[in-house]
Chains A and B, each alone.
Chain A
Amino acid sequence: MSQYGTDYEASATAGSPALSSTAAEAATGYRSSRGGAPVVSFKNVSKHYGRLRAVDGLTLDLRQGETVALLGPNGAGKSTSLDMLLALRKPTGGKIQMFGSDPYHAVKSGRVGAMLQSGGLMPEVTVRELVTLVTKLHPKPEPIDTTLRRAGIAQFADQRVDRLSGGQTQRVRFALAICGKSELIVLDEPTAAMDVETRRLFWNSMKEEVAQGRTLLFATHYLEEADQAADRILVINRGRLLADGTPAEIKARAGARRLAFRLDRVDEPFLLGLPGLVNLEIRRDVVQIQSSDSDATLYAILDAGYRPREIEVTSLGLEQAFLAITAEDDRANGHTDATSPDAHDAHERETN
């Protein structure tokens, strides 16, 4: 399996490959089970820069206690969406609400802790001085020593902020996001610049935060993190929401498994009519199929009298699911950019 390898166990629930988010809600009921007003709601939110639509009609709700990953390729509108949520930028259209008020007042009431890629630290002071300062700015903060311990920065608390390594700096920024004991924590690419061990520690301390009933929203391009840490994933591309569901649902939506084999006389119209087929790729005698029901797909091929060779059935990780969803969106919008070659690369990594 690849570095992102996650065994796909939930294919049994993958009813329809085009599983919509509402269907997913009905199937799992996890959102309705939370109840109460949403912590965050986007209603048809847009941000345009001239003709560029960085965010284009985004609508979503976050409930208390959820850990939500915002997943999308570079330039998908993740950072712009978080900026608007945190009142750093004004939407061109639509409405954002947080804790029943507008983003600006929610941020100023101290109910949000955030760590942005573009956020910086005050230089020339020690880590402890900096954490103390930001802690004092919040109305009901965490004790400073608790913050230092949770963020794993106690051992270098007396070092100067401008003399830390990239990973250490990242942990200090994380400390600033949690020191206010805020109800919502927003993280933009939190583990960039962290090594594997630091990343593991980071997610452990994050779980501690979530266990206390906090809501967590994070943007990431590490699919492994979205898969393991989030209980809900929002896939966005070109500023629009493409998928919304549990990691299992997202994988199911893209077609659960990949079926690959060699076939001497390829009959494309027949293959396109196979049950469960989500995507078909043919390279000379090599056929690759993404299927929501790989058993049915395979039986149909055999029943039609074909005898494919070198049959491989592999689980799709979240990465393939993600690439499939965005590629589908790109095709639907008439864009044929670099997404498909990436899918091949990903496939090669997966099978190697």
Chain B
Amino acid sequence: MAGTLALTKAELMRLMHNKRYFIFTVIFPVAIYLIVARSVKSTAYGVTLGAYYMIAMATLGAFSGTLNGNAQRISQEKKEGWIRQLRLTPLPPNAYVVTKVLVSMATTVPAIVIVLLLGRFYGSVHLPAWQWPVIAVTIWFGSTIFAALAVAIGYRFPPDQVQPVTLIIYFVFAILGGLWFPLAGFLGNIGKFTPTYEAVKIGTDVIQGASVSAGLAVGLVIWLGIFTVLAVVAVRSTAETV
């Protein structure tokens, strides 16, 4: 346990050195929010655009940070033999993956906190106090399940293929999930099955005061299950080559 903590601490330290991470996870969603939030007086999913985009951008920043940063790092560290070097230490065998997921869970926090603060003070989103933590936790859960997918991609693909693979997944889940703009029609119906949509919709339902459909929460758990299975299979199948 002490070893896992030491590794987690070192990983967080690396993150502080890394500026690219902040561009993807914080600066990009913040910039979009600043442009969009006040420009149109309209509604989406039954809430103001200011509230909708607050949740959508927090989710976008959180999930893209989890996906982009981790998959690339894991793949690189596998190729360069850092994972192998760790296997030669007393560190428990799963600690590396556990640490990556823990760090992912932490890395989503700045994007979520900053965008929600912007929503409150720039986007004029006024909510009862209890709704803020509920929304924050929903976004956090909905995006950190991508940490498991990042593990699967990182173990499965070499570094030069990780970039295109994560980019495709990023676009699919961002667009179909309605993070950039609310979808309707055929694509909107498909998009309802994405975890990104489910996370956002739970948030907007909470704001509306509507009862949150259990299907949305179950959907997130199913996605977590799918990504976890993919990760476990990828890690196990590469055990001898790492």
Contacts and interface: CB of A to CB of B under 8 A. Distances in A.
A120 B81 CA distance: 4
Interface stretch (B9-17, B119-127, B138-146): B9-17
Interface stretch (B35-43, B51-59, B88-96, B169-177): B88-96
B10 A114 contact: no
B82 A120 contact: yes
Interface in B1-42: 2-3, 6-7, 9-10, 13-14, 17-18
Given A120-B80, A136-B2, A136-B3, A112 B88 contact: yes
Interface residues of B, number: 26
Given A133-B6, A136-B3, A137-B6, A107 B84 contact: no
Contacts of A137: 3, 6-7, 89-91
A118 B79 CA distance: 9
B187 to A, nearest CB: 39
B85 A120 contact: yes
A107 B85 CA distance: 12
Interface string A126-144: 0001100110111100000
A124 B240 contact: no
Interface string B88-129: 111110000000000000000000000000000000000000
A133 B89 CA distance: 11
Contact of A109 (B10, B80, B90, B91): B90
Contact of B18 (A124, A133, A134): A124
A129 to B, nearest CB: 6
B101 to A, nearest CB: 17
Contacts of B2: 136
A119 B84 contact: yes
Given A137-B6, A137-B91, A138-B90, A125 B85 contact: no
A134 B90 CA distance: 9
* Interface size class of chain A, counting residues whose CB lies under 8 Å from the partner chain: 20 to 34
A124 B14 contact: yes
Contact of A134 (B17, B83, B89): B89
Contact of B81 (A107, A113, A119): A119
Nearest to A104: B93
Contacts of B6: 133, 136-137
A118 B80 CA distance: 7
B232 to A, nearest CB: 19
A107 B13 contact: no
27 contacts: A86-B88, A88-B87, A107-B88, A107-B90, A109-B90, A110-B90, A114-B88, A116-B85, A118-B81, A119-B81, A119-B88, A120-B77, A120-B79, A120-B80, A121-B80, A121-B82, A122-B10, A123-B14, A123-B76, A124-B17, A130-B10, A133-B7, A137-B89, A137-B90, A138-B90, A139-B90, A180-B89
